[in-house]
Chain A
Amino acid sequence: MRNKSKTTAFMGLFTALALILAYVEVLLPPLFASLPGIKMGLPNIILVFLLYRRSACSAIVVSLLRIALVTMLFGNVMALLYSLAGGILSLVVMILLRRWNVLSTVGVSVAGGVAHNVGQILMAMLLLETAELGFYLVVLTVAGTLAGVFVGLCGSALIRKIPANFLFLDK
C-alpha cells in the first residue's frame, strides 16, 4: 500500500504542522527569559506522535525538515546550530527510550525536552567558549521537564484519539 507520493504527502503535512507549532511558540511569551531558542518545544508534540504511530525515521525527517525550513525562512546560521544540537540530541534520546520501553509517552517526552535544552547549552558553551553556563543548565532542566510533561500529555492524547487508518498512518 505504501508508495512514494503518499509518503511525500504525509511528510509534507506533518512538517507543516511542526512548522505551525514552532510559529505558535514564537507568538507565546517566553517561559523563561534566558537563552534564545529555549522554548516549550511544541513541535515536539508532532515528533512524539510520529515516533509512536509511524516510525523513528519519519520523526527524524520531519525534525530536520522543520529546522531547515525555519533556517531558510528566518535565515540565521547561529540559530541553526542551536536548533540542530538540541533537535538531534533530543530525538536520539527519545528514539532510544522508545526502544527501551520503560517509560510512557510523557516520560519519553520529558527526557526529550531536557535533552533538547542540554544540547543547546552544550552548543552555547562550545560557541561562546565558556564553561560558565551552569546556572542555565539548572533553569533549563526544570523548564525542559515541565515542558516535556505538557508535550507528552498532548502527544499521548493525539496517539490515543487519532484512528489507525487516519491519513497514511497505517502505511
Chain B
Amino acid sequence: MMKQKNVNKRHLRNDILLIIVLLLVAATGAAYLFLFRGFGDVVKVTVDGELYGVYSLSQDRTEDISTGEDGRQLNRLVIREGKAFIQTATCPDGICAAHRAIFRNGESIVCLPHGVVVTVTTAQTQGEPDVVV
C-alpha cells in the first residue's frame, strides 16, 4: 500500500512537470512570435500552397479571394488600420471569418475547406515579381 502511494506521488509530480514543460514551450513560442518577430507589413495569401497575392497592410482594401473549380468559394479579405481579417466566407465552418484580425509577423488565418492561408510577413521576404501591393 505504502509503495503504491509513493508511485502515485511520483506520477503526480511527473504530471505537473509535463504540464509545466508544455506551457513553457507554448510560452516560448508565443514570446518568439509576438516579441521577436515584430510586426509584418504585408499579408501573403496562398491557395492550396500556391501564391494568390501579396497585399500591403498599410493600405486599406477589400479583396475577394475566389477559389474552387468555378471560383464560387469566396473569402472576403479586409485590410483595415494595418490589420487583416476575413470579413465573410462561404465555407461551411466559418472559422476563418471568426478569427480575430492579424498583424504580427508570422500570424495566419487558415480556411481549411477552401485551402486558403493568409499570413502576415515582411515585404523583403516577398521579392516575387508578380507581387500586388
Say how far A81's CB is from chain B's closest CB, in angstroms. 10
A71 partner residues in chain B, CB cutoff 8 A: none
- Chain A neighbourhood of B115, CB < 8 A: 127-128
Find out whether the CB atom of A104 lies under 8 angstroms from the CB atom of B110: no
- Asked if B11 and A102 sit within 8 Å, CB to CB, the answer is yes
Also in contact, A107 and B93, with CB within 8 A (given A130-B117, A149-B19): no
Instruction: Check A111–B18 contact: CB distance below 8 A.
Output: yes
A134 adjacent to B29 (CB under 8 Å): yes
**Interface magnitude class on chain A:** 20 to 34
Interface size on B, residues (CB 8 A): 32
Contacts of A145 in B (CB 8 A): 19, 22-23, 26
**Residues of chain B with a CB closer than 8 A to A102's CB:** 10-11, 14
Please indicate the chain A residues that have their CB under 8 angstroms from the CB of B29 in the complex: 134, 137-138, 141
B92-127 at interface with A (beta carbon < 8 Å): 93, 95, 98-99, 106-108, 110, 112-113, 115, 117, 119, 121
Near A by CB (< 8 A), chain B positions 1-44 give 8, 10-12, 14-15, 18-19, 22-23, 25-26, 29-30, 33
Does A13 belong to the interface (CB within 8 Å)? no
Instruction: Given the known inter-chain contacts A103-B11, A107-B14, A107-B15, please indicate yes or no for A114 contacting B110, CB distance below 8 A.
Output: no
Residues of B contacting A96 in the complex (Cβ-Cβ under 8 angstroms):
none
Cβ-closest chain A residue relative to B31:
A138
- A residues near B (Cβ < 8 Å) are 30, 33-36, 78, 82, 102-104, 106-107, 110-111, 114, 124, 127-130, 132-138, 141-142, 144-145, 149
* B residues with CB within 8 A of A: 8, 10-12, 14-15, 18-19, 22-23, 25-26, 29-30, 33, 46, 48-49, 93, 95, 98-99, 106-108, 110, 112-113, 115, 117, 119, 121
Beyond known contacts A102-B10, A136-B110: 5 more, CB 8 A cutoff: A36-B93, A104-B15, A133-B108, A138-B26, A145-B26
